[in-house]
Amino acid sequence: MSLEIHPVLLCGGAGTRLWPLSRKSYPKQFVRLIGEESLFQGSARRLSGPDFAPPIVVTGADFRFVVTEQLAALEMAPADILIEPAARNTAAAICAAALTLDARAPGALMLVAPSDHVIPDVDRFQAGVAAAAPAARDGQLVTFGIRPNRAETGYGWLELAAAPDAAFSATPQPLRAFVEKPDGAAAEQLLSGGLHLWNAGIFLFSTTAVLAAFAEHAPETLAQVRAALDAAVTDLAFTRLAAGPWGALQDISIDYAVMERADNLAVVPYGGAWSDLGDWQAVWRETGPDADGVVARGHATAIDCTDTLLQATSEAAQHVVGIGLKDIVVVAMPDAVLVADKTRAQEVKTAVAALKANGAAQAETLPRDYRPWGWYESLVVGPRFQVKRIVVHPGAALSLQSHHHRAEHWIVVEGTAKITIDESVKLASENESVYIPLGAVHRMENPGKVPLTLIEVQSGTYLGEDDIIRYEDVYSRGQGAKG
């Protein structure tokens, strides 16, 4: 008999502790940090199979096409994609998903999970979910606790009423209390006591139970989210929650809003491998250091190093070399380099805040900008000119647009481009180029079966991405840099 569990994937985090690879413009859940799939794709695959319905995804407007593209690569179609007008933490996101699901499947079981975790043993995790299902059907709010293997200060902990059995069986049991992120000494006590687990932020409950909990413990959140859904608009395959009521929501987690106040809680111990990849030390740990404790990724060479991560992200032009390093993280990107003591990896978030305060674009923006039609990156920027590499997916098209302040040259280096310039439409193949005069209404399309790659040379008095006037767009983005 199928369990018919409805996954809810939360995709709202910024992942600033994994800067510079993860940034606000393209956070860690969409990055291939471990393996060939992104963390989001790994999460979607883990929550799929005969017992799982198509997922509900809650994300921001800038990532809606990233979500659909990455799910399509897995040959998955989402049940719903809810667009948050602004980040309001997990309570609002989970409440919106519960109301959406309950409207079409009253009382259904929903499995809420962050989209940026690593859980290698899929079978064991799904078995834990199956073991939790009866308690969830009986009205319990079930959370999952991870067997701790170190005195971790970066996670919240869960206090059990009794210690798990020797086999660490996935058996629901009462949850005594939530424990805030401890300091080092307190974490050592929690680890040695045997009654505490890491709080994974993964939940299983029925829509009936969780909505009742919101009604009792967070009625304002429930009312505002319901108003945001009632006034939501459909945009292509997405549901845009109404900005007015959503903006009035409190920024609060599901733990604070509901779970810590409820008395119908249960916890399922999980003894398998798990990581939230919360900082570079976690990436170093999960990637599998060699006998010297070294991880060298990309074009990186370690000489006489120990317990060190060296990562180079450039495809060809950059090589990172470490000599005599110990407990060091080095992550090099074309526009930013991180060098940090591995034991202080959690402080990368502080560095990002400092960069943002100083107005550095690198704080939040990657050099590669992802769009629904593909991506582009700036290669050279100078006075009154910019050179970009642009890649357009097969069958995709940029908007029909014009610019007030710049002209453009396009040089095709791979594939074939269908190019509209005012009333003219023509094809340009490899090694051919076209000129787009300032003010001309133009569009680029990829009519082929392979990616279209071209070099764009912009010249003019202003080269910002907000100098775009859209006339038609298959992605309904409206005006603005991204729309």
pLDDT at 154: 87
Identity at 453, one-letter amino acid code = T
Q: Is the pLDDT of residue 187 over 50?
A: yes
Q: Model confidence over 361-382: pLDDT tens digits?
A: 999 999 899 999 999 999 999 9
pLDDT, average across residues 469-478: 88
Question: Which residues on neighbouring strands pair with residue 8, listed in sequence order?
Answer: 56, 112
pLDDT band at 14 (very low <50, low <70, confident <90, very high): confident
Mean pLDDT of the chain, nearest integer: 94
What is the edge-to-edge ordering of all strands in the sheet holding 406-414? 368-371, 374-382, 385-392, 452-460, 406-414, 433-436
Q: What is the reported pTM? A: 0.90
Do 14 and 54 share a structural domain?
A: yes
Closest Cα partner for 368 from 424, 430, 315?
315
Do 285 and 265 share a structural domain?
A: no
Q: Model confidence over 36-80: pLDDT tens digits?
A: 899 999 999 999 999 999 999 999 998 999 999 999 999 999 999
Percent share of the chain, pLDDT over 90: 88
Q: Is the pLDDT of residue 483 over 70?
A: no
pLDDT at 480: 62
Do 291 and 225 share a structural domain?
A: no
> Would you give the DSSP letter of residue 106?
T
Domain that holds residue 343: 281-357
pLDDT band at 12 (very low <50, low <70, confident <90, very high): confident
pLDDT at 1: 41
Structural domains counted in the chain: 3
H-only helix segments in 18-117: 39-46, 64-73, 89-104
pLDDT band at 476 (very low <50, low <70, confident <90, very high): confident
Q: What is the CATH number of the domain that holds 381?
A: 2.60.120.10
Do 337 and 248 share a structural domain?
A: no
In a domain, 480, yes or no: no
Q: Find the helix packing angle between 122-137 and 39-46, rounded to 10°.
A: 60
Q: Exposed, middle or buried, 324 (CB in 10 Å: 0-12/13-18/19+)?
A: exposed
In a domain, 388, yes or no: yes
Do 36 and 169 share a structural domain?
A: yes
Q: What is the CATH number of the domain that holds 169?
A: 3.90.550.10
CA distance 419 to 425: 6
CA distance 147 to 194: 9
Do 300 and 177 share a structural domain?
A: no
Do 34 and 178 share a structural domain?
A: yes
pLDDT at 166: 85
Q: Model confidence over 425-462: pLDDT tens digits?
A: 999 999 999 999 999 999 999 999 999 999 999 999 99
In a domain, 176, yes or no: yes
pLDDT at 481: 58
Q: Model confidence over 212-267: pLDDT tens digits?
A: 999 999 999 999 999 999 999 998 889 999 999 999 999 999 999 999 999 999 99
Place of tokens 């010249």: 459
Q: Model confidence over 77-106: pLDDT tens digits?
A: 999 999 999 999 999 999 999 999 999 999
Closest Cα partner for 337 from 357, 323, 320?
320
pLDDT, average across residues 293-318: 93
Do 295 and 233 share a structural domain?
A: no
Q: Is the pLDDT of residue 482 over 60?
A: no
In a domain, 121, yes or no: yes
Give the Cβ contact number of residue 323 at 10 Å. Answer: 9
pLDDT at 471: 93
Q: Model confidence over 313-323: pLDDT tens digits?
A: 887 778 999 99
In a domain, 400, yes or no: yes
Q: Model confidence over 141-177: pLDDT tens digits?
A: 999 999 999 999 889 999 998 999 888 999 999 999 9
Do 316 and 239 share a structural domain?
A: no
SS3 content of the chain, % helix, strand, coil (to 5): 25, 35, 40
CA distance 114 to 111: 10
Instruction: Among 229, 246, 270, identify where a domain stops.
Output: 270
Quick check: 125 and 147 in contact, CB under 8 A? no
Tell me the CB-side half-sphere exposure of residue 96, using CA atoms within 13 A: 34
H-only helix segments in 34-180: 39-46, 64-73, 89-104, 122-137
pLDDT, average across residues 467-473: 92
Do 285 and 170 share a structural domain?
A: no
CA distance 23 to 12: 12
pLDDT at 477: 81
In a domain, 276, yes or no: no
In a domain, 183, yes or no: yes
